[in-house]
Amino acid sequence: MGRFTIVFFLSLSFFFTPLFAKTDHAIFSKSEAPSSEISNKKRGDDLKCPTCGTVPFPSNTGNVTPNPIIDSSKVWSFVSEPHLHPMKVKVKKNKPGIASGSIFLAPYAFSEDAGYGQQGTLILDNEGNPIWFKPSHNSNLMNTDFRVQKLGGESVLTFWQGTLVTPPTYTNVPAGSSEPGSCYYILDKTYRTIKTVEARKGYTSDIHEFLLTPHQTALFLSTQAVPMDLTPYGGATKRICARFCDSRNRFKNK
């Protein structure tokens, strides 16, 4: 078995106004697969992406990514929510005077390793106890850039979801790039998906910053794999990713 590697994208360390509170149901609000959330809503301009990061991009190598390790002392299990298995996080320092609020994480493992616990978006308190968790339900679906932002004056949760290029399962574009089919999610204070945003015109939503503006628009990066011969410049014949900033249209008010 390969070396276990867990990567964290710590998008926002502390949420100073803890509006996303604990529930009285095993400290979790009930979580469904993202595909279920979308299919149960009326489709319209706010939910633009048909699959929106819920279907893994096919591997170009045939390598099978290991399933996560669930039966472990390093993984949470709950009688009231048996389908939720987030990884445990040990807080080594929690000194007096630390900011109040919650810790936002989006853990995932590389495609050659089996990670501890399900991948997804995870909110913890300052002791490392889970407050809310939304599993991705597939080892080849990841989340990044998980944080709190403002939309129309209201606090919302935002994150990227899709397939991240991690060898050996994916080698078709440079490691760390996004595969097609990914998008950005916007959740309200009840953890309900209210909007999704994706790149268009053959570009792929990038894993990095998704920024909501005061003008009801979103700014983000998108990528496109471009075949290019770099041998005249001392490089190899391979694909590279062209990146550019993209702005979405104004969101419709609900």
User: Residue 37 is inside which H or E element, if any?
Assistant: helix 34-39
Of residues 70 and 237, more confidently modeled? 70
User: What letter does residue 178 receive in the DSSP assignment?
Assistant: B
Would you state the pLDDT for residue 70? 95
- Over residues 32-46, the pLDDT tens digits come to 323 223 223 333 334
Distance set, CA 168 to CA 6, 92, 156, 185, 239 (Å) = 16, 33, 35, 27, 17
For 244, what's the count of Cα atoms within 13 Å in the CB-facing half-sphere? 10
Of residues 211 and 35, more confidently modeled? 211
**Collapsed DSSP state (helix, strand, coil) of residue 26:** coil
Q: What predicted TM-score, i.e. pTM, was given to this entire model?
A: 0.78
Please provide the size of the chain in residues: 254
Sequential DSSP letters for 45-61: SSB--SSTT-SPPPPSS
**Collapsed DSSP state (helix, strand, coil) of residue 7:** strand
Of residues 236 and 125, more confidently modeled? 125
For 158, what's the count of Cα atoms within 13 Å in the CB-facing half-sphere? 26
Using CB atoms within 10 Å of the CB of residue 240, give its burial: 0 to 12 exposed, 13 to 18 middle, 19+ buried: middle
Would you state the pLDDT for residue 13? 30
* Banded model confidence at residue 164, pLDDT cuts 50, 70, 90: very high
Sequential DSSP letters for 206-230: EEEEEEE-TTS-EEEEEEEEEEEE-
With a pLDDT cut of 90, the percent of the chain lying above it is 50
Q: Is the pLDDT of residue 210 over 90?
A: yes
Judged by average pLDDT, the poorest of 21-35, 36-50, 72-86, 116-130 is 21-35
